[in-house]
């Protein structure tokens, strides 16, 4: 596997062991973080645009960030769950091409690692409600980021190591697609990082090309060669991903979100949002606000 896989890192949001009943029925759940489940008792269901999977004892389930899914339990389900954020140097998600729920048999080592992680992270459950509508708020994310910042270095490394080991189990599944280009250009990597930290600005391809002292056409061709995307498409994708996060975690108006993500007006923001998400911002928020 290419060494650039290790540009990814993950940070813990929540971990807990919970016993669920028929109140655990949530629809069109979409989160800016990953969810990993290990089921030890009972039966539940998880579905996305690709079909339905049964949550059953002895299996691991991974839901990549920004994957829309439904979560259901008819009677009883007990599970270990880990929720975590992803960071990457170039802003491209490891599962960028695999936005679907994944399932595989849990190994003995997987179970040991999950229980160990729960042991070294006491009090990191949700502790509010199991309804994403209640606990998915930016203020709560900041709260858990502060907990991570205050954590002893050895525990940070242990958490990171466990998450990486668990994530690695899904890289060989049929649902994981690796058709991401190897990025070797330092100027392209620098540009991608610049875009990530300047999503609130009205970025243009001409500005990005000038910033790295390249002709615009040459820059665009190099960006396409190294990333598989046109630079404007990449800019829009990252801005809309940020907008999805803001819609899911804040009560800001669409105009405020448009301005926060560098769009000069609401119609342009709505048009690009619909192109990328296949939903209008209003339809997207409506899905989230109608979680049962």
What Å distances lie between residue 193 and 58, 67, 197, 266, 287, CA to CA? 39, 23, 7, 26, 31
The pLDDT of residue 87 is 79
Max Cα-Cα span within the chain: 62
3-state secondary structure of 279: coil
Residue 129 reports pLDDT greater than 90: no
Averaged pLDDT for residues 208-230:
90
Left (φ > 0), alpha (ψ -120 to 50) or beta: where does 159 sit? alpha
The secondary structure of residue 172, as a DSSP letter, is T
> Range with the lowest mean pLDDT among 16-25, 53-62, 63-72, 203-212?
63-72
Whole-number pLDDT of residue 192: 82
What tokens were used for 273?
A: 């949002």
pLDDT higher than 90, residue 194:
no
Whether the predicted pLDDT of 2 surpasses 50: no
Q: Which residue has the higher pLDDT, 55 or 184?
A: 55
Angle between helix axes 266-277 and 231-249 (nearest 10 degrees) is 100
3-state DSSP call for residue 275? helix
pLDDT band for 180, please (50, 70, 90 cuts): low
- Per-residue confidence (pLDDT) for residue 35, from 0 to 100: 93
Task: Considering only residues 8 and 49, tell me which one the structure prediction assigns the higher pLDDT.
Answer: 8
Q: What is the pLDDT of residue 1?
A: 43
Domain 3-168 in this protein, CATH class: mainly beta
Is the confidence at residue 190, as pLDDT, over 90?
Answer: no
Residue % of the chain over a pLDDT of 70? 85
Per-residue pLDDT tens over the stretch 82-126: 999 887 765 667 877 777 889 999 999 999 999 999 999 998 888
Give the residue extent of every domain in the chain. Answer: 3-168, 186-289
Q: CB under 8 Å, gap of 24 or more: what pairs does 282-289 form?
A: 282/254, 284/244, 284/247, 285/247, 287/28, 287/30, 287/68, 288/28, 288/30, 288/133, 288/247, 288/248, 289/133
Q: pLDDT of 247-271, one tens digit each?
A: 877 888 999 999 999 999 999 999 9
**Confidence grade of residue 141 (pLDDT, cut at 50, 70, 90):** low
The band of 137, judged by pLDDT with boundaries at 50, 70 and 90, is: low
CATH of 186-289 given 1.20.1270.360, 1.10.10.60, 3.30.420.280, 3.40.50.150: 1.10.10.60
User: Any alpha helices (H) in 184-230, and if so which ranges?
Assistant: 186-197, 205-211, 216-227
The tokens of 18 are what? 């919970």
For residue 126, what pLDDT is reported? 80
Q: CA 185 to CA 193: how far, in whole Å? A: 13
Q: CA–CA separation, 240 vs 269, rounded Å?
A: 8
Better-predicted residue by pLDDT, 203 or 227: 203
- pLDDT at 138 (0 to 100): 60
Q: 3-168 and 186-289: same fold?
A: no
């Amino acid at each position: 596997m290419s060494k650039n896989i290790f540009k990814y890192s993950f940070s813990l949001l929540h971990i807990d062991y919970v016993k669920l009943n028929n109140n655990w029925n949530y629809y069109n759940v979409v989160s800016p973080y990953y969810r990993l489940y290990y089921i030890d008792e009972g039966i539940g269901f998880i579905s996305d645009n690709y079909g339905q999977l049964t949550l059953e004892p002895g299996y691991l389930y991974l839901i990549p960030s920004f994957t829309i899914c439904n979560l259901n339990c008819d009677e009883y389900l007990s599970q270990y769950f880990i929720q975590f954020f992803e960071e990457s140097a170039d802003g491209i998600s490891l599962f960028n091409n695999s936005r679907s729920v994944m399932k595989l048999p849990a190994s003995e080592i997987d179970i040991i690692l999950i229980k160990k992680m729960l042991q070294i992270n006491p009090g990191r459950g949700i502790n509010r409600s199991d309804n994403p509508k209640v606990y998915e708020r930016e203020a709560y994310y900041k709260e858990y980021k502060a907990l991570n910042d205050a954590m002893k270095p050895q525990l940070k490394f242990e958490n990171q190591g466990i998450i990486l080991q668990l994530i690695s189990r899904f890289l060989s599944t049929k649902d994981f697609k690796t058709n991401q280009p190897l990025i070797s250009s330092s100027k392209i990597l620098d540009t991608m990082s610049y875009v990530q930290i300047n999503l609130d600005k009205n970025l243009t391809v001409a500005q990005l090309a000038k910033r790295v002292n390249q002709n615009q056409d040459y820059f665009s061709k190099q960006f396409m060669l190294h990333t598989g995307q046109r630079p404007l498409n990449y800019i829009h994708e990252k801005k809309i991903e940020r907008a999805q996060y803001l819609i899911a975690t804040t009560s800001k108006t669409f105009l405020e979100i448009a301005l926060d993500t560098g769009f000069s007006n609401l119609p342009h923001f709505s048009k690009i949002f619909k192109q990328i998400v296949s939903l209008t911002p209003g339809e997207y928020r409506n899905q989230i606000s109608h979680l049962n």
